[in-house]
Structure 1
Amino acid sequence: MNASETDAPAEADAAAPVPQSLAQRGDNRSHRPTNRAFRDFIGSGWGPRPQELPSRNESAPWATARRESLGALFPGDRLVIPAGGLVTRNNDCDYRFRPHSAFAHLAGTGTDFEPDAVLVLEPLGTASADGGGHGVNDDAQGTGGPQGAQSAPTHEAVLYFRPRASRSSEEFYADTRYGELWVGLRPSIEEVEAATGIRCAHIDSLEDALAKDAGPDGVQLRVVAEADQAVTALVDRVRTAAGLAAGQAAQQVDDALAEATSELRLTKDSWEVEQLQRAVDATKAGFDDLIRSIPRATGHWRGERVLEGAFGAKAREEGNGLGYETIAAAGNHANTLHWINNDGAVRPGELVLVDAGVEVDSLYTADVTRTIPVDGRFTAPQRRVYQAVLDAAHAAFARANTPGCRFRDVHAAAMEVIAARLEEWGMLPNGVTAADSLGPDGQFHRRWMVHGTSHHLGLDVHDCAQARREMSMEAELRPGMVFTIEPGLYFRADDLLVPEELRGIGVRIEDDVVVDADGSVRRLTQAIPRTVDEVEAWVSGLIG
């Protein structure tokens, strides 16, 4: 629970009460001193802050190359990429901050940096020389970068944020969102410049910077509109004042930037792949702890939450937290694809489908699904379904390793196996073969696997979602692409078209893979057991 300000000394207030608006009433629990003597006292007697500047982020040169690639697509335009603001959870409590993925990707920052920050790519020739910053991007711009960045950068990056206030300010002790006594020591402009290699300025100077030279014959503005409504509204006001595009025309301008930032992430650089491998390794540790908690889960009325909690604890210990809400679906719950209530029992003899991923401090996330026998052994019907899904995963992986494979072909390969197994089991409509079902007028097998087999993975668990179809689903696999392979079969307990012994069984197997420089596809999740024998040995080895 948030600390209360009621512990601070209060002044006697003899004045008559003044009517309050609803907005003002949120502060009624506070008794904040306002007298000058108190302000002088609370701002005094503190030791010096650390003087040493942080070292440059290891991500900085990679982020530089990304910014140069983006800027080259929009020469002469001012590009505005907000981090986003804090989001209210309830009343005056906020959710933990997580910056927008486009911002994190282009600024090279992670974790909770920095509510209300805005990255602006200034077209060269318009960037202000004073702007409040200290030191233009020295080794962060124009070096060629680690990923073939443009030799002649088109933009200069400027990072606007709210630096820490002095201890003599009211913000220091009274601002619950930004005050040092409330949220801890926040960075200075000099510190952020040292860490990122980006010139920085106070957020209060953003509006003037956006308006500089803006106009039909000057600078065009583009903003990642979904990231921060307040910043988007500010950009719209500047555009209106400058006579730039508004309404639907402005949306088209902004959509092109959002599309570009998404497509920029379709291929990962080697630093990003390393971060994803770290996320996968942490996820393996989380699965280990989850399996160790199975005995306690089977004795708890909400056993699924016992499993969820075990994984979540490891995610916070080893990374920033969860990449998405964990699915810990026991028994028939596994047949609800997005089961995140996790309020059911975990029973001996059942399977539990766990779809979970650790988001590391750089904000890259793993996305792994394993279907685990609670007793450490698959029953014959469970093994039958599991092996069918595993065979589909093998087929998809083999297709991905075929030269010229397109992203959509990975799904098609998995579906060929799924349809064939369902035909063998007599589950397709009378007279319908697997080949018939795979045709556009069939698709009957999709009753038992309604989702796709693959999606891109990175800063978002479903990464690059705003990329054009021809750049993603229809594109050939190419080095740097990271994606999932996750076939499944879901036989609901009330599905009368399913053989009785298979009802209530849900299985998904999900791996994270990367296309290496030579075009071959490699499992980042290779160390996480997946065959029947491996899974049984894994569970039995951890819980006996």
Structure 2
Amino acid sequence: MDPVNPRARARHDRTPPAALLEFITTGWEQPERPVVSPISGVELCQARRQALSEHFPGLLVVVPSGVARTRANDTEYRFRPATDFLYLVGEGEPDEVLVLEPRADGGHRARLYAEPEADFSRSDFFTDRVKGVFWVGPRRGLAATSTRFGIEARPVAELKATIHAHDRGVVLRGVDARVDSLAQDLAGPDQELKTHLSEMRLIKDGLEVELLQEAVDLTRLAFEDVIQALPECGTERDVEVAFFRRARSQGNDTGYLTIAAAGSHATVLHWSQNTGEVRPGELL
């Protein structure tokens, strides 16, 4: 995969002077790495990858995490990995790719292609608007990736060579256009991969049931927050804020746009504009 992102530089960015480049890329101490622990459910993710491997013997299996989406100029929406990637890995950053590479003796070798630790001897740590440490903070890095997910981590720049070493495989397409392009010559039942992953996710394991119950409990608390805040809520937007605070502070986010529909808006099934007023005596 080409590591150069066309959005890494803006059109008005100038090439830094050579003296500045030399100064800013030398003399750095190695940053202290935080202690990393395996994610909750790492064994479950490993078992899911093993089950997927058994379903596609002899085939390369490629599952991307997805790409960051631009919100405005050099800012992006908060990233959410593709659901199937999340199911198999547990977490994810943009542009990561899970690959199950078939072994000659059977089975697969699982690898996660990710961004390596920042190299402060390269200028992109402060010139790259998309992935530079100066712009978006430190990367997880390969060592932490391996520890956190219980999987071998390789630089994403090696992905192209891995894919091109095979002529048969399945790809979760439509998630990352660059991966689709790299794997355009792979022959295999791509739709079967998508279908099989969906069927795997239908049956929830113990951890998933716990997480679903936690989401239910937090949702109930969020509704109670709305009831408590209602005397001060003059608009649907106020209601939305009361609900969202619980979702963001104790969870990750809302699962979909909050429907805060008052008055005549309450008869609209998916009212999510939340632009109306909340009036006493009207349905919310």
Regarding TM over 0.5, the answer is yes
CA distance, structure 2, for counterparts of residue 54 and residue 277 of structure 1: 27
Q: CA deviation at 1:331?
A: 2.2
* Equivalent of residue 288 in structure 1, options 199, 209, 224: 224
Q: CA deviation at 1:334?
A: 2.0
CA distance, structure 1, for counterparts of residue 256 and residue 108 of structure 2: 34
CA distance, structure 1, for counterparts of residue 26 and residue 219 of structure 2: 46
CA distance, structure 1, for counterparts of residue 283 and residue 134 of structure 2: 48
CA distance, structure 2, for counterparts of residue 183 and residue 333 of structure 1: 40
* Equivalent of residue 89 in structure 1, options 71, 81, 92: 71
Alignment of 1:234 with 2:218, yes or no, is: no
Residue matched to 1:114: 93
CA distance, structure 1, for counterparts of residue 225 and residue 23 of structure 2: 49
* Equivalent of residue 51 in structure 2, options 59, 66, 69: 69
Q: 1:44 to 1:292 in 2, by over 3 A?
A: farther
CA distance, structure 1, for counterparts of residue 176 and residue 118 of structure 2: 23
Residue matched to 2:125: 172
SS in 2 for 1:264: helix
Alignment of 1:202 with 2:169, yes or no, is: no
Kindly provide the CA deviation profile for residues 348-376 of structure 1, in whole angstroms up to 9, marking residues without a partner as x.
11221xxxxxxxxxxxxxxxxxxxxxxxx
Alignment of 1:267 with 2:246, yes or no, is: no
Alignment of 1:34 with 2:13, yes or no, is: no
Q: CA deviation at 1:44?
A: 4.3
The amino acid that maps onto 1:75 is P
Q: Answer whether contact 1:164 1:180 (CA < 8 A) is retained.
A: no
Q: 1:42 to 1:278 in 2, by over 3 A?
A: farther
The amino acid that maps onto 1:118 is V
Q: Answer whether contact 1:53 1:194 (CA < 8 A) is retained.
A: no
* Equivalent of residue 333 in structure 1, options 242, 265, 273: 265
CA distance, structure 2, for counterparts of residue 52 and residue 349 of structure 1: 54
Q: Answer whether contact 2:9 2:128 (CA < 8 A) is retained.
A: no
Larger radius of gyration: 1
Q: Answer whether contact 2:114 2:141 (CA < 8 A) is retained.
A: no
The amino acid that maps onto 1:27 is R
SS in 2 for 1:191: helix
Q: CA deviation at 1:102?
A: 0.3
Residue matched to 2:251: 319
CA distance, structure 1, for counterparts of residue 152 and residue 63 of structure 2: 15
CA distance, structure 2, for counterparts of residue 177 and residue 63 of structure 1: 29
Q: Answer whether contact 1:62 1:108 (CA < 8 A) is retained.
A: no
The amino acid that maps onto 1:176 is R
Q: Answer whether contact 1:53 1:190 (CA < 8 A) is retained.
A: no
Q: 1:89 to 1:81 in 2, by over 3 A?
A: same
SS in 2 for 1:89: strand
CA distance, structure 1, for counterparts of residue 276 and residue 248 of structure 2: 23
Greater relative contact order (Cα < 8 A, sep 6+) = 2
CA distance, structure 2, for counterparts of residue 201 and residue 283 of structure 1: 39
Q: TM-score, normalised by structure 2?
A: 0.91
CA distance, structure 2, for counterparts of residue 115 and residue 224 of structure 1: 15
Q: Answer whether contact 2:67 2:95 (CA < 8 A) is retained.
A: yes
Q: How big is the alpha-carbon RMSD for the aligned residues of Structure 1 and Structure 2?
A: 2.1
Alignment of 1:102 with 2:77, yes or no, is: no
Alignment of 1:224 with 2:172, yes or no, is: yes
Q: CA deviation at 1:277?
A: 1.9
Residue matched to 1:307: 239
Query: Which stretch has the larger CA shift, 117-126 or 55-64?
Result: 117-126
Q: 1:291 to 1:46 in 2, by over 3 A?
A: farther
- Paired residues in the alignment total 278
Kindly provide the CA deviation profile for residues 88-147 of structure 1, in whole angstroms up to 9, marking residues without a partner as x.
2234332111110000100122xxx21000001112228xxxxxxxxxxxxxxxxxxxxx
Share of identical aligned residues, percent? Answer: 40
SS in 2 for 1:121: strand
CA distance, structure 1, for counterparts of residue 26 and residue 252 of structure 2: 35
- Give ranges in structure 2 of 5+ residues lacking alignment: 1-6
CA distance, structure 2, for counterparts of residue 322 and residue 37 of structure 1: 48
Q: Answer whether contact 2:8 2:130 (CA < 8 A) is retained.
A: no
CA distance, structure 1, for counterparts of residue 138 and residue 34 of structure 2: 14
CA distance, structure 2, for counterparts of residue 254 and residue 88 of structure 1: 28
Residue matched to 1:494: none
Q: 1:335 to 1:272 in 2, by over 3 A?
A: same
Alignment of 1:60 with 2:42, yes or no, is: yes
Kindly provide the CA deviation profile for residues 432-460 of structure 1, in whole angstroms up to 9, marking residues without a partner as x.
xxxxxxxxxxxxxxxxxxxxxxxxxxxxx
* Equivalent of residue 349 in structure 1, options 276, 281, 284: 281
Residue matched to 1:254: 190
Kindly provide the CA deviation profile for residues 214-242 of structure 1, in whole angstroms up to 9, marking residues without a partner as x.
23xxxx21111122122112110x43xxx
Q: TM-score, normalised by structure 1?
A: 0.49
Q: Answer whether contact 2:115 2:156 (CA < 8 A) is retained.
A: yes
Q: CA deviation at 1:278?
A: 2.0
Residue matched to 1:125: 104
CA distance, structure 1, for counterparts of residue 266 and residue 126 of structure 2: 49
